[in-house]
Amino acid sequence: MRKIVLLAAAAAMSMGLPAFSGSHGDGPVKAGFVYVGPIGDGGWTYEHHQGLLAVEEHFGDKVETVYQESVPEGADAERAMTQMALQGADIIFTTSFGYMDPTINVAANFPDVKFEHATGYKRADNVSTYSARFYEGRAVQGLIAGKMTKTNKIGYIASFPIPEVIRGINSAYIHAKKANPDVEISVIWVYTWFDPPKEADAAKALIDNGVDVVLQHTDSTAPQAAAAEAGVISFGQASDMSEYAPLPRVSSIIDNWAPYYIARVQAVMDGTWESVDTWDGIGPGMVEIGEITDAVPADVKAEAEALRDAIGSGEYHAFTGPLNKQDGSPWLAEGETADDGTLVGMNFYVEGVTGEIPN
């Protein structure tokens, strides 16, 4: 029987037909990864690459991986994905929000290749989406930030005005405000995921304007260096950034993609892959909170860890009412929690955040 399957597969391939999905005989599954920054960014892309390495480690010879770094969001991304698909990739992970439409377009041309798009919301029969509930980690950071700020001004380096980033700002602000009612948040939009000098300049601009806690939603460690020089505190983003611990980096959000990547590659091997939408947080371990350093007072640290555990166990939701939108209109009533639909498309600030979200 096995021989027949192999012969059929060989025949299919020799006729130039794509091998039918779900059965790969003994050949390795080929997994492709498209990265928005360099692996060495020390943040977002670095962690995705750790996921790739975990896949290699887990499957050994049964898997073959290929990746491309620093692929711009847009037309170039389609080229990179198409190239991977033509090279015989069975599953392609596209790891940035801006790859959403390119992923959908390329997936339509390669119905037998599985696509996995990170942080987006468009799916197809062969396109899954996956993301992490980073906002859960932002809640913990917000609490620490609110407790630690002396100037009552915290700063946030934001990349693009997309729901994922806006959720982070809101979550951080809500929990900073709970910890410290006088807190204000300044947001700078830099319109890039990775531009170390610009990220550094943004951090300096925040600090020059009186901010003493810097949160970032960009991928490099440049804001950490700026925070270190100015003597203010910061948080690792996407990766632990522990080289900046114990100060300025007092904690971090770590993206742990490895279990998901392994599970999805396994599904391709087993022929059980189907299009799903995964959105995991602290509980399942996709979002980890990096060690809270001793620069944070013990009681604040304990409070932050309690918040982390409450979110992880599902006992507490980071968006729990009463909460109003920025314009003062009610959003969540006392005790009500936000539904995923609203969170996925979040395009408003909560009450108290100043400034406008760019379109």
Out of 189, 279, 331, 348, the only residue in the binding site for another protein (CB under 8 A) is: 189
Of 131 and 220, the one with the shorter C-beta distance to another protein is 220
d(CA 326, CA 352): 6
Identify which of residues 164 and 240 has a Cβ nearer to another protein in the complex.
Answer: 240
Omega within 30 of 0 (cis) for the link into 102: no
Span of 81-89, 218-226, 269-277, 329-337 interacting with another protein by CB under 8 A: 218-226
d(Cα 261, Cα 57) in Å, to the nearest integer?
12
Q: Which two tokens stand for residue 317?
A: 């939701």
Of these, 56, 76, 78, 201, which contacts another protein (CB under 8 A)? Answer: 201
Characterise 123 by phi-psi region: left (phi > 0), alpha (psi -120 to 50), beta (else).
beta
- Per CB under 8 A, 9 contacts another protein: no
Dihedrals phi, psi of 327, to nearest 5 degrees: -80, 5
Region for residue 241 given its phi and psi (left: phi exceeds 0; alpha: psi -120 to 50; beta: otherwise): left
Residue with tokens 């790969």: 24
Considering only residues 114 to 143 of the shown chain, the ones binding another protein according to CB under 8 A are none
- Cα–Cα dist 202/214, whole Å: 10
Binding of another protein at residue 225 (CB under 8 A)?
yes
Neighbours of 263 (CB within 10 A): 11
Cα–Cα distance measured from residue 221 to residue 241, given in angstroms and rounded to the nearest whole number? 7
Q: Which of 131, 180, 220, 252 binds another protein (CB under 8 A)?
A: 220
194: left (phi over 0), alpha (psi -120 to 50) or beta: beta
* Position 155 contacts another protein (CB under 8 A): yes
From 209-217, 279-287, 294-302, 343-351, span contacting another protein (CB under 8 A) = 209-217
Residues 61-80 that bind another protein (CB under 8 A): 70
Give the distance, in angstroms, between the CA of residue 273 and the centroid of all CA atoms in the same chain.
22
State the minimum distance, in angstroms, from the CB of residue 210 to another protein. Answer: 5
Does 162 contact another protein by CB under 8 A?
A: no
Nearer to another protein, 116 or 240 (CB): 240
Q: Which of 197, 328, 335, 341 binds another protein (CB under 8 A)?
A: 197
317 belongs to the binding site for another protein (CB under 8 A): no
Binding residue (CB under 8 A) for another protein from 95, 221, 237, 251: 221
Helices (H), 60-162: 75-86, 100-109, 134-148
Q: Does 39 bind another protein (CB under 8 A)?
A: yes
* Among 25, 210, 231, 314, interactor with another protein by CB under 8 A: 210
Q: Residues touching another protein: how many (CB under 8 A)?
A: 44
Q: Return the number of the residue (270 or 327) whose C-beta is nearest another protein.
A: 327
Report the residue from 80, 113, 162, 188 that binds another protein according to the rule CB under 8 A: 188
Q: How far is the CB of 233 from another protein (least distance, A)?
A: 17
Provide long-range contacts, Cβ within 8 A and 24+ apart, for 315-318: 318/133, 318/135, 318/136, 318/138, 318/139, 318/171, 318/174, 318/175
Among 206, 307, 323, 332, binds another protein (CB under 8 A): 206
Q: Which is nearer to another protein, 92 or 211 (CB)?
A: 211
* Amino acid at residue number 288: E
Asked if 172 and 318 count as a contact pair (C-beta separation under 8 A), the reply is no
Stretch that binds another protein, among 81-89, 291-299, 300-308, 349-357 (CB under 8 A): 349-357
In the complex, the residues that contact another protein under the rule CB under 8 A are 37-42, 70, 155, 161, 186-192, 194-198, 200-202, 204-206, 208-211, 220-222, 225-226, 228-229, 243, 354-356, 358-359
